[in-house]
């Protein structure tokens, strides 16, 4: 047999053996789900935690979006009612036992007016303004409840994913040392699984940051509505004072 032909056969056999070895070392499924199933237990725990964080992010987005839409709609309706020729007691009766933010603002102002004996002076205005500020802050804190977790997820998820990446790569190098080979088929699956953990961290973090910023802007708009409601209440209080002064003057005469 010619030497060149024998060399070609040996090279072909070596190539086939290497391919068979590589195929045996590589996992059967290199899809994201397959890499998750073949990952180390620590990497699996990291990816499960990041998937749960992503689920929390979208749940908070849905709940807070619906809550803000409902609260803003009710606040706008209350503002339309306050922007009419009405009085503070009538506005308070119209609000009844409402639990929305603007209703609480009106109720708080009416309560302070009643506690002050309906004596309209600068002291009453100051006390009402303090009450309205407290109600506004309380309502904004209530509407912001649950959004802090988005900031936490956005800040920590990339680092959690990076931890999974470091752990997976460390296991890959340990596998190289135990196999006494530098074959790429030994290290590639572990690196792929490690990089999947990083991808999961980014998938959890990026929406969390975007949604947090979006909710912050919507909440600022809602707070502006509450500020308008407080201003309308102070205007009602001032009108009531102006209407009362002629009666007091005539009574004094």
Extract the tokens encoding 61. Answer: 């987005």
The domain ranges of the chain are: 32-252
More confident residue, 174 or 244: 174
Distance (Å) of CA 202 to CA 89, 156, 162, 208: 54, 10, 10, 10
At 188-217, the pLDDT tens digits run 767 777 888 889 999 999 999 999 999 999
Q: Of 76-85, 114-123, 168-177, 224-233, give the range with the top mean pLDDT.
A: 224-233
Res. 13: pLDDT tops 50:
no
Inter-residue contact 86 to 179 (CB < 8 Å) = no
98-133 as b/e, with b when 16 or more CB fall inside 10 Å? Answer: eebbbbbbbbbbbebbeeeeeebeeebeebbbebbe
pLDDT above 70 covers a percentage of the chain that reads 75
φ, ψ of residue 28 in degrees (nearest 5): -70, -30
Res. 45: pLDDT tops 60:
yes
């Amino acid at each position: 047999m010619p030497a060149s032909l024998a060399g070609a056969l040996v090279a072909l056999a070596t190539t086939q053996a290497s391919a068979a070895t590589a195929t045996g070392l590589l996992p059967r499924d290199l899809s994201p789900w397959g890499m998750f199933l073949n990952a180390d237990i620590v990497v699996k725990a990291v990816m499960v935690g990041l998937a749960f964080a992503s689920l929390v992010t979208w749940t908070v987005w849905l709940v807070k979006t619906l809550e803000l839409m409902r609260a803003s709609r009710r606040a706008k309706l209350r503002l339309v009612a306050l922007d009419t020729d009405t009085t503070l007691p009538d506005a308070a009766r119209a609000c009844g036992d409402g639990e929305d933010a603007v209703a609480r603002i009106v109720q708080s102002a009416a309560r302070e007016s009643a506690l002050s004996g309906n004596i309209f002076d600068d002291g009453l205005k100051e006390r009402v303004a303090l009450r309205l500020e407290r109600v506004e802050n309380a309502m904004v804190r209530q509407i912001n409840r649950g959004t802090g977790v988005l900031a936490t997820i956005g800040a920590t998820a990339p680092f959690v994913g990076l931890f999974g990446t470091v752990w997976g790569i460390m296991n890959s190098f340990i596998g190289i040392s135990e196999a006494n080979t530098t074959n790429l088929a030994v290290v590639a699956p572990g690196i792929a699984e490690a990089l999947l953990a990083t991808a999961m961290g980014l998938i959890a973090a990026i929406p969390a940051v975007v949604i947090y910023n979006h909710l912050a802007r919507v909440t600022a708009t809602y707070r502006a509505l509450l500020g308008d409601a407080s201003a309308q209440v102070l205007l009602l209080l001032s009108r009531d004072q102006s209407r009362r002064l002629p009666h007091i003057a005539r009574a004094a005469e």
